[in-house]
A and B are shown apart, each in its own frame.
Chain A
Amino acid sequence: MSTDKRINLQQAAEIVKNGSSLTFSGFTIWRRPTAIVYELIRQHRRGLHLIEVNGGPQTEFLVGAGCVDIWESCWVGHELYGKYGANLSRKVAEKKILVEDYSHAEMLFRFTAAAMGAPYAVTQTSLGTDIHNPEYDVLGRAGKRDGKRIGKHKYIFTDDPFFDAGPQVLIPAAKVDVAILCVQQVGDEGTVRASGQLYSDTEVARAADITIVMAEEIVPEAYLRRDADHNTISSFEVDYIVECPFGAHPTGMFGKYDVDGAFLKHFFTTTRTQEGFDAFAKEWIFGLDHIGYLEKLGWPRMLNLRANTALNYKPRK
């Protein structure tokens, strides 16, 4: 039996079906699997349900391209390169997308519950806010709460039955079909070694039914297994691996390359309208493959983003 988990970008995108629920590695503008996200757009995927601990450029690319019907998360933007998700805002105004808001910690705890195999998590965060307003249960209002992949309730309010610590909120596990991760190294049997901050990568990888890991490089398992305590995700939690250098661009990767702030700023300022997004997609997504994209970016630009391997970032001077 073959244990080869290697696939290419096109095959990775094909695993995500129309209507799939999907999540990603990374945090805002860091370590997002952009190369596969672009490929999903090229393949015209539709009806996606994104469930993200937090959003970022990957959300905006997919939402702008019309791939997403439901977005469950807490935040989208480009940090200092773009204050909010202009494509999401436009689709909300046009009522072309359903948005379900949880808080950041709630999203994280929801994935933690799914990763533990538990049906829900309990927390006291965000009590008293409109995040818990029953009128604002958007998926409930849309009749989407089937109790299968989407929980029957957005929240359950209860009181601590064990220690009388007061009001608690129960939040449903984030059950998700596919997680796509973008990391520095993966072994040929799937062991992941991510470096820098780990964000919520271990939780989302374990929560998903299918986990795809795209890495800057695929390395021999034996190399990673010499220092097993440095590894992040175990081999059998990973179903497919893809090698793709600079696959996170324009987001950054610890130890490899910084965020391409100019690219994000340009994206943010030029894609507030659908015409603007379509022009961006025509220029940077359609008609290109990953190598074509890198060629278009060019060596000077990529070298300018390259991290110093001792510092793990590109020093400003």
Chain B
Amino acid sequence: MSNYASPEEYGLADLLCCAASQQVQDNEIVFAGTGLPMVAIMLAQKTHAPNLKLIFEAGTLDGRPPELPTSVGDARCETGASRSTGLFDTFSIAQRGYVDLGYLGGAEIDQYGNVNTTCIGNYLDPDLRLTGSGGNPDINSFARRTVFIMVHEKRRFVERVSYITSPGWRVKKWPGGEWVHRRELYGAAFRGGPSAVISTAGVFGFDEEDGHMYLETYHPGKTVDEIKELCQFDLDVSRVKGETAPPTKEELYFIHDVLDPDEIFIPRVKKA
């Protein structure tokens, strides 16, 4: 496998970007948020998924930006798009069921894939108010699959998130707050849920029946025990397939020479 880059040729952000890019298949309709997901999805467009359709939440449908947008509302999102419109269209399209895949992030995640981007501590008297939900729960509610990209720290992979901003596989049924499977709650709108977590330590999947997270691959240089120790919940490591594939030389070329030459989201590895 000589096409794979050697460890000194890539950084952690490259590895995450490439792992995220692998989650999309050709011809899929994808919702991409600001940051690394944007690079990942455009990388897939340049490599194995040239016909994917890209939706930017702020209002562009099937866009082909020639230069990396710095956010989903960026003027660059509109270039080459099928339509330039607004949030009513993008969210209606999502609720209507067109979206195959969404890329999202979060500050905390639990074993069922419930994600928090709202606050740390008690919501009514928080230790820290965060940025808020944005479209995280909306994309996650309506897409067939969602991929979360996260920093892996023990304080982030928790038994219970401070606040469920975005719904995982087992969620709370309001007004009572009983825990139920997502399928039960979403009725006709049920299409799927979180399908992968790509953390700075490994790649994780979910058992769609009982809803729990399991380790799929560990990143080069990490061990299964180390990753287990980085979770506050009891991580299922019975389905580990091996090591996360490193980036290929072609992927690194696209990331650094074509998509993000100015290192807006993905820094180059500094040569020693």
- Where the two chains meet, the residues of A that have a C-beta atom closer than 8 Å to any C-beta of B are 26-30, 53-55, 73-77, 79-80, 83-85, 88-89, 92-93, 99, 101-106, 108-109, 112, 123-136, 138, 141, 155, 157, 160, 163-167, 196-203, 252-255, 258-259, 261, 307, 311-313, 315-316
Which residues of B approach A to under 8 Å, CB–CB?
34-35, 56-60, 67, 70-79, 84-88, 91, 94-95, 114, 118, 123-124, 126, 128-138, 141-142, 163-167, 171-175, 177, 180, 182, 185-189, 262, 264-265
Tell which of A126, A129, A160, A316 touches B187, judged by Cβ atoms closer than 8 Å.
A160
- Please give, as numbers and ranges, the residues of chain B lying within 8 Å of A77 by CB-CB distance: 131
**A126 contacts B138, C-beta separation under 8 Å:** yes
| B73 partner, pick from A104, A105, A160, A197, beta carbons under 8 A | A197
In Å, the complex CA distance between A111 and B137 comes to 18
Q: Give me 29 A-to-B residue pairs in the complex whose CB atoms sit less than 8 angstroms apart, sorted by A's number.
A: A27-B58, A28-B72, A30-B73, A75-B131, A80-B71, A84-B130, A101-B118, A103-B133, A103-B136, A104-B135, A108-B87, A124-B141, A124-B187, A127-B141, A128-B186, A129-B164, A129-B172, A131-B137, A131-B165, A133-B177, A134-B175, A136-B123, A157-B175, A166-B189, A167-B187, A197-B60, A197-B78, A199-B73, A203-B86
Known pairs A76-B131, A129-B166; A108 contacts B67 (CB<8 A)? no
Q: In whole Å, how far is A311's beta carbon from the nearest beta carbon of chain B?
A: 7
* A-B pairs with beta carbons under 8 A, tally: 223
Q: Which 7 A-B pairs have the closest CB atoms?
A: A166-B187, A128-B171, A197-B59, A165-B188, A27-B73, A105-B138, A75-B134
Contacts of A134 in B (CB 8 A): 174-175
Beta-carbon contact of A29 and B71 below 8 Å: yes
Q: In the complex the two chains form, is B130's CB within 8 Å of A130's CB?
A: no
Q: Establish whether residues A79 and B78, one from each chain, have CB atoms under 8 Å apart when the complex forms.
A: no
Q: Main secondary structure on chain A at its contact with chain B?
A: loop
**Whole-angstrom CA separation of A128 from B113 in the bound complex:** 12
Inter-subunit contact A200/B133 (CB<8 Å) = no
Contacts of A30 in B (CB 8 A): 58, 71, 73-75
Among A105, A254, A312, the residue within 8 A (CB) of B91 is A105
A259→B74 CA distance, assembly (Å):
9
Question: Given A73-B132, A104-B138, A130-B163: A312 and B188 within 8 A (CB)?
Answer: no
In the complex, the chain A residue whose C-beta lies closest to that of B59 is A197
CB distance from A26 to the nearest CB of B (A): 7
Contacts A83-B131, A108-B88, A125-B141 hold; do A254 and B118 have CB atoms under 8 A apart?
Answer: no
Distance (whole angstroms) from the CB of B43 to the closest CB of chain A: 18
How far is the CB of A83 from the nearest CB of chain B, in Å?
7
> Given A79, A163, A312, which contacts B79 in the complex, CB threshold below 8 Å?
A312
Residues of A within 8 A of B264 (CB): 80
| B76 contact set on A, CB distance < 8 A | 313
Nearest chain B CB to A241 CB, angstrom units? 21
Within 8 Å CB of B85, what residues of A? Answer: 197-198
CB-CB < 8 A to B174: which residues of A? 128, 132-134, 155, 157
Chain B residues whose CB sits within 8 angstroms of the CB of A102 once the complex forms: 133
B71–A28 touching, CB < 8 Å: yes
* Chain A residue contacts of B78, Cβ below 8 A: 196-197, 254, 312
In the bound complex, how far is the Cα of B78 from the Cα of A138, in angstroms? Answer: 37
Task: Enumerate chain B residues within 8 angstroms of A88, measured Cβ to Cβ.
Answer: 129
Min distance, Cβ B146 to any Cβ of chain A, angstroms: 13
Contacts of A79 in B (CB 8 A): 34, 70-71
Instruction: Indicate if the CB atoms of B131 and A85 lie closer than 8 Å.
Output: yes
- B58, chain A: closest CB distance, angstroms: 4
Contact of B86 among A129, A198, A312 (CB under 8 A): A198
Given A124-B141, A261-B70; A53-B133 close (CB under 8 Å) = no
Given contacts A127-B185, A252-B74, A313-B75, contact A200 B129 (CB under 8 A): no
Give the CA-CA distance A84 to B117 in the complex, in Å.
10
Q: Do A104 and B134 touch (CB < 8 A)?
A: yes
Bound state CA distance, A103 and B180, in angstroms? 21
Chain B residues within an 8 Å CB radius of A73 = 132
